[in-house]
Amino acid sequence: MDIRLQEKLDALPTEPGVYLMKDKRGQIIYVGKAINLRSRVRSYFTRTGDTRVFVSLLDTMLGDLETVLVHNEKEALLLENELIKKHKPRFNVLLKDDKQFISLRLDRNQPFPRLEVVRKYEKDGARYFGPYSSAGAIRETLRLINRFFQLRTCTDHVLANRKRPCLLYQIGRCPAPCVHPVSPEDYRKSVDEVAMFLEGKAGELIEGLRMRMKRASSELKFEEAARVRDQLLAIERSLERQKVATSDFKDQDVFAFFREGDRILFYVLHVRQGRLNGGQAFPFGSQEFPDDELLASFVNLYYDQGGFVPEEVLLPLEPGDGTDGLEALLTERKGDRVRVFVPKRGEKHELVNMAVKNAEQAFVERKRTKDETDTVLSRLQSKLGLRNFPRRMECFDISHFQSSAIVASQVAVTDGETDKSRYRKYKIKTVEKQDDFASMYEVITRRLKRGLEDSDLPDLLVIDGGKGQLASAHAAMKDLGVEGVDVVGLAKSRDQEVFDRDAESAKSPERVFVLGRKDPIVLPQNSAEMFMLTRMRDEAHRFAITFQGKTMRKSAMRSALEDIPGVGEGRRKMLLRHFGSLKRVGDASIEELAEVVGPAMAERVHAGLHGDPEDDTEDPVREASLDDASEPSHEKADGGSPPGAA
């Protein structure tokens, strides 16, 4: 070991703090915390019989070591969390912000609250329920609530501007507070029942509904009694599907993990009011550090995402520095007492064992899926003669409408799965008329320039098109001097005669064009390799069409309002916010417009939208939603962030 580094190890303090390990280039590779910095860090170099790969490489990999002293373990946890999110070290577990958690939000401060699906908790006075293990689980919950509890589902904007009831009112699933004089007290009862249902207070909810059913029946309100009866049956069936996990009816999160070498999978089992609510799996690779360190770091990061903090957190083993610091930190985040402990017997110990089994099962399933995906990618590499193993692929598509609104899309696949963090949208800047070849050249040039700057290039580029589009992409690569990236074109056959559209033989085979090869490669149409390529191409096509539609709608609105002299961004937003859509602005009279922008400007807007009264041409005003018009875009045309998953 380097003498300077050895001196640092010898001089480490015995106080609590955070340590940062750096490689020879000064890059931070691991961030950890400890109650006793000297004892923790020196343990990596004094353990005997430790076969972990990372420990054996520490002597050659470690270039420097930094420490930051704090007052106690809670402060160390907070600082460790911030440094991991800031530096994203190679050997730490990393959680993506806001993408793992799906919850329901109920804001009781509104006169007529509704349930919203959210991915982030905020301190706004609203109630949050969850997290839910999947979008399917939350859809099932919403379906049940919308059918039997009759809360509104429309947005606040629609509630304020609707003139007549929607279909949900017609089928008896909403009281239509948007247009009808619904009693806030009666509506509040439904809100309270929804809260009890989501909190798992089954006994209290069922008893209240039974009393309502009997009261309605005694008052000869048989339709209402029948509706409450159906509601009762649905709730009881829902509760029957949930297994009672504990007898103390507490909110609990149960953590477990399964590990093989440097690959580890954490599993979180959610228990709400004593009933199993679901679970989530979090796989990670390149994790060489001890189990107790990784577990404590993961739990800290998990709750820093803004997720619901339960009353109890159960762990499969004791963290290296104990549970006191983690318990104090979670208590502070929740605002109420949180217990963190490792159960040794009883119901809680059985819950931990259940979580461990789920972690092992999820690990095995993911490993099998990964092995199958690697096999498909290996066959794809062999059949197309690729130089690289196509682990990271990107597909590009050009879309336009009658030579206008020319846009392009980039979708990405990593290890056979869509990678939306690398989705991109492009507005074509250098091509004015329809020219797919020139457009493809521009898009690939812009993508590769950014990739060269960020040292982020894919293994394979898939171009939607034939030889022409492929040649354009190759020309962009040559002009930039990009080597080591494979590129292929994917196109349907155009010269096949089709006599019967319903016949199997009439399907046009996909062809893969490869550089340096005259004839295209025709992969088996039902093969996994072909499915992977066509799925990626279809996703690129969908993404491009969606972006093109948004571009055209915004262009139509600009031509209708912004071309009117004196109507800028501010007045445009005022008009659209007041009337709700461009069509309603066009239908408004001069007097109605004057209430928003004044008499003089109202006449100008009316004339600009309708033209000469004697003109018989079609009214240019088209329907456009307020969301598309009044909200600024948060997506960059070149290299911007992809749209979020709902």
- The reply to whether 131 and 66 lie within a common domain is no
CA distance linking residue 348 with residue 175, whole number of Å: 43
User: What percent of the chain clears pLDDT 90, i.e. is strictly above it?
Assistant: 23
Q: Does residue 604 lie in a domain region?
A: yes
pLDDT of 351-390, one tens digit each? 999 999 999 988 988 888 888 889 999 999 999 999 999 9
Residue 528 covered by a domain: yes
Q: Which pLDDT score is estimated for 53?
A: 55
- 81 in the same domain as 118: no
Q: Is 501 or 391 the better-scoring residue by pLDDT? A: 391
Distance of CA 308 to the CA centre of its chain: 17
Write the CATH number for 397. 3.30.420.340
Q: Is the domain of 392 the same as that of 536?
A: yes
Residue 290, domain member (yes or no): yes
Shared domain for 486 and 587, answered yes or no, is no
575 torsion bin: left (phi>0), alpha (psi -120 to 50), beta (else): alpha
Can the peptide bond before residue 131 be classed as cis, meaning omega within 30 degrees of 0? Answer: yes
Q: What mean pLDDT is predicted for residues 42-55?
A: 64
Task: Let me know if 23 is exposed, middle or buried by CB neighbors in 10 A (0-12, 13-18, 19+).
Answer: middle
CATH of the domain at 571: 1.10.150.20
Question: What count of other Cβ atoms lies within 10 Å of the Cβ of residue 569?
Answer: 11
pLDDT at 541: 93
* 366-377 residues labelled b (16+ CB within 10 A) or e (exposed): eeeeeeebeebb
Rounded to 5 degrees, what angle do the CA atoms 392, 443, 554 make? 110
DSSP codes, 263-276: EEEEEEEEEETTEE
Range of the domain at 454: 387-494+508-546
Q: Is there a single domain that holds both residue 401 and residue 460?
A: yes
List C-alpha distances in Å: 129 to 146, 172, 330, 504.
16, 25, 18, 49
Amino acid, single-letter form, for residue 171: I
Q: What is the DSSP letter of 316?
A: S
The predicted-structure confidence for 433-450, as pLDDT tens digits, reads as follows: 778 899 999 999 999 999
Q: Give the dihedral sign, CA 367/373/379/381.
A: negative
Residue 283 lies in a domain: yes
Q: What is the pLDDT of residue 634?
A: 37
* Greatest extent of the chain over all pairs of C-alpha atoms, in Å: 94
551-560 CB contacts, 8 Å cutoff, 24+ apart: 551/405, 551/407, 551/427, 552/401, 552/404, 552/405, 553/624, 553/628, 554/628, 554/629, 555/405, 556/622, 556/624, 557/582, 557/624, 557/628, 557/629, 559/620, 560/586, 560/609, 560/620, 560/621, 560/622
CA dist 558 and 572 (Å) reads 9
Predicted pLDDT of residue 498: 42
98 has pLDDT over 60:
no
- Which span out of 124-133, 216-225, 228-237 was modeled with the highest average pLDDT? 216-225
Residue 317 token pair: 């083993």
In a domain, 370, yes or no: no
Which residue among 87, 115, 133 closes a domain? 87
Of 488, 531, 478, nearest in space to 388 by CA:
488
Higher pLDDT residue, 281 or 489?
Answer: 489
Segment 391-426, tens digit of pLDDT:
999 999 998 876 667 899 999 999 888 888 899 999
Among residues 160, 182, 199, the one where a domain terminates is 199
DSSP class per residue in 147-192: HHT----S-HHHHHH--S--HHHHTTS---TTTS---HHHHHHHHH
CATH of the domain at 304: 3.30.420
Give the count of beta carbons closer than 10 Å to the beta carbon of residue 477. 19
Amino acid making up residue 236: E
DSSP SS3 for 325: helix
The secondary structure of 415-462, three-state, reads CCEECHHHCEEEECCCCCCCCHHHHHHHHHHHHHHHHHHHCCCCCEEE
Supply the pLDDT for residue 500.
42
Q: Would you place residue 464 in the very low, low, confident or very high pLDDT band (cuts 50, 70, 90)?
A: very high
Euclidean distance between CA atoms 284 and 264, whole angstroms: 5
Asked whether residue 432 carries a pLDDT value surpassing 80, the answer given is no
The answer as to whether 169 is a domain residue is yes
pLDDT of 130 strictly over 70: no
Query: Rounded distance, CA 444 to CA 457, Å?
Result: 11
The pLDDT tens digits of the residues spanning 542-551 come to 999 988 888 7
Give CA–CA dist 597/408, Å, rounded. Answer: 38
Residue 477 near residue 441 (C-beta atoms within 8 A): no
Band of pLDDT at residue 247, cut at 50, 70 and 90: low
Q: Is the pLDDT of residue 617 over 50?
A: no
State the CATH number of the domain containing residue 18: 3.40.1440.10
- Whether residue 207 is contained in a domain is answered as no
Is 245 part of a structural domain of the chain?
no
The token duo for 213 is 């059913």
Judge contact between 511 and 521, C-beta under 8 A: yes
Domain count, the chain: 5
This model's pTM is above 0.85: no
Whether 431 contacts 442, CB under 8 Å: yes
Burial label, 592 (beta-carbon count in 10 A; 0-12, 13-18, 19+): middle
At which of 199, 221, 242 does a domain end?
199
With a cut of 50, say whether residue 618 has pLDDT above it: no
At residue 630, does pLDDT exceed 60?
A: no
Identify which of 203, 204, 221 has the alpha carbon closest to the alpha carbon of residue 213: 221
Whether 75 and 108 share a structural domain: no
Report the 10 Å Cβ neighbour count for 573: 16
328, 425: one domain: no
Percent of the chain with pLDDT over 70: 82
**What is the 3-class SS of 477-514, one letter each residue?**
HHHHCCCCCEEEEEEECCCCCCCCCCCHHHCCCEEEEE
Residue 502 has pLDDT above 60, yes or no: no
85-106: average pLDDT = 75
Q: What pLDDT is recorded for position 612?
A: 46
Burial of 219 (0-12, 13-18, 19+ CB in 10 A): exposed
CB 85 within 8 Å of CB 43? no
Pair 535, 400 in one domain: yes
Question: Do the strands 62-69 and 17-23 form a parallel or antiparallel pair, or are they unpaired?
Answer: antiparallel
Instruction: Looking at the structure, tell me whether residues 75 and 142 fall in a common domain.
Output: no
Asked whether the beta carbons of 95 and 299 are under 8 A apart, the reply is no
Residue 64 has pLDDT above 80, yes or no: yes
Q: Would you say residue 283 has pLDDT above 70?
A: yes
- Tell me: the pLDDT tens digits for 297-354? 899 888 876 667 889 999 999 887 788 888 888 898 888 899 998 999 888 999 999 9
451 and 520 belong to one structural domain: yes
Nearest to 313 by CA among 254, 393, 227, 259: 254
Average pLDDT taken over every residue of the chain: 80
Burial 253-282 (b: 16+ CB within 10 A, else e): bbbbbbbeeebbbbbbbbbbbbbbbbbbbb
Is residue 540 domain-shared with residue 584, that is, in the same domain? Answer: no
| Residues 323 and 189 reside in one and the same domain | no
* CB-CB contact of 470 with 437 (8 Å): no
The span from the CA of 588 to the CA of 583, in Å, is 9
* Other Cβ atoms closer than 10 A to 63: 16
- Whether pLDDT at 15 is above 70: yes
Q: List, for residues 514-545, the tens digit of each pLDDT value.
A: 998 989 999 887 888 999 999 999 999 999 99
Contact 351, 246 (CB under 8 A): yes
